[in-house]
Amino acid sequence: MSSHNIIDSNVIAISNGLHGDASLTCVQNANDFLKQIEEMVERSECFLIYDNSYKILNECKKHCNSANQTKLGTVFYKWVHQNIKKSKILLTDLPIDIETNDELLPPCFDGFDRNDRKYLFLALDFKEFNPSLHYGIDRGYQRYRQCFVEENIELSRLCD
């Protein structure tokens, strides 16, 4: 795991039991990961990266509701939200047109999923730190594995 980390919102959904394709092992992996990374951030062993506009956090919030307040995904989301202004969580700007402007990404990522571009952009913004991009279930990332390697970004798949 890198010192700089981006978490796809599907990890929150999986942890909260809201992803229909997630096995019990996958849910456990997501839960274990969220506990581990929270502890590491608290010990100042790594950073989390989010966007200033809270686009990613708002997407995470969609996976958190009153029915799953005690689920680890929701607990993690609340922890991030409470700690967002602390130095352990880095914030950066996302281009307004990140989902539609193909010129914002290296050519190797042509055709990359528009909904996942925000995570990719954050990773590219911090690529000098060899960031880790963590996701649960998403085959789209795997199709671009070589592109991630070329851009110095580590992919971390939590589920098979």
pLDDT of residue 95: 92
pLDDT of residue 15: 95
The rounded distance, in Å, linking the Cα atoms of 152 and 131 is 8
pLDDT of residue 43: 94
Instruction: Work out whether the CA dihedral 108, 95, 46, 19 comes out positive or negative.
Output: negative
Cα angle: 126, vertex 28, 9; to 5 degrees: 40
CB 116 within 8 A of CB 140: yes
pLDDT of residue 52: 95
- Domain 4-157: state its class: alpha beta
Cα angle: 63, vertex 144, 9; to 5 degrees: 10
pLDDT of residue 123: 97
The conformation of residue 86, written as its DSSP 8-state character, comes to S
pLDDT of residue 87: 86
The pTM of the full predicted model, rounded to 2 decimals, is 0.94
pLDDT of residue 23: 92
Upper half-sphere CA count for residue 59 (Cβ side, 13 Å): 15
pLDDT of residue 73: 94
pLDDT of residue 76: 97
Query: Residue 42 burial by CB count (10 A; 0-12/13-18/19+): exposed, middle or buried?
Result: exposed
pLDDT, averaged per 10 consecutive residues of the chain (160 residues), comes to: 95 91 93 97 96 95 82 94 90 91 92 94 96 91 96 95
Q: Which long-range contacts (CB under 8 A, 24 or more apart) does 27-34 make?
A: 29/136, 29/158, 29/159, 30/72, 30/73, 30/136, 30/158, 30/159, 31/72, 33/134, 33/158, 34/72, 34/73, 34/76
pLDDT of residue 148: 97
